[in-house]
Amino acid sequence: MICVVDYGCGNLFSINRALDVLNIDHIVSDDPETVAKSGRILFPGVGTFGEAMALIRGRGLLDALQEVADKGGQIVGICLGAQLLMSRGFEYGEHDGLDLIPGEVHRLPEPAGPTGTRIPNIGWRKVDAKPGYGDLNVLRAAPYFYFVHSYGVRCTDPADVKGTINVNGAEVPAIIGKGNLWGFQFHPEKSGRVGLQLLDQTLNRRHKT
């Protein structure tokens, strides 16, 4: 059973629909006890870093998420949810994150000219898998996924970066992973068949690092 964490900043409709299509049993909960007891967490998010962390603390979910990570449970963050796995973020000030994967969240680089990528980065982008990512078949053909973001993660350990996109000449992490902790900067639930395949393989752990 997957627990989709409702902390007030998630696109729950799209997530629920994707999980229904994949026939993955799940519940949606904002109850810290329910979250803490879950072995697999889906952690979506839209909005700003600081606001999201305030909501997580306000609902008493900070310790619950840490407990899941400490016991080796799976946490999969999507978009803002992936960014919140980092140590801190710099969106409208400096804010502490969940600190589950060492790193920071910074604004994406601005285009140097009229042909660059406008920020926010919105649209379909090709994700290049890093060597040694494992046997996740869906990434072998460098597929396209749907992005909507103005900020991106910077992992302290390069080994935690599993896939990247190019934004105005900079290599920006699109997939991060450390043990059972995973983050997708894009929206797999909005990325068609390939996105659903990636979500299914990740939640069912049919790949390795």
Distance CA 89, CA 92 (A): 9
Query: Which of 3, 91, 95, 189 does the annotation list as catalytic?
Result: 189
Distances (CA, A) of 123 to 24, 45, 51, 57: 27, 17, 24, 31
Whole-number Å distance between alpha carbons of 148 and 91:
15
Active site residue 94: no
CA 154 vs CA 73, 83, 132, 169, 197: distances in Å: 23, 9, 19, 15, 26
Residue 119: Cβ-neighbour burial (10 angstroms; 0-12, 13-18, 19+): middle
Where would I find the H helices in 102-208?
Answer: 192-203
Annotation marks residue 26 as catalytic:
no
Catalytic option among 79, 104, 149, 155: 79
Q: Is 138 within 8 Å of 124 (Cβ atoms)?
A: no
Q: Which of 44, 6, 34 is nearest to 190 (CA)?
A: 44
| Residue 187 is a catalytic residue | yes
d(CA 38, CA 31): 11
Active site residues: 79, 187, 189
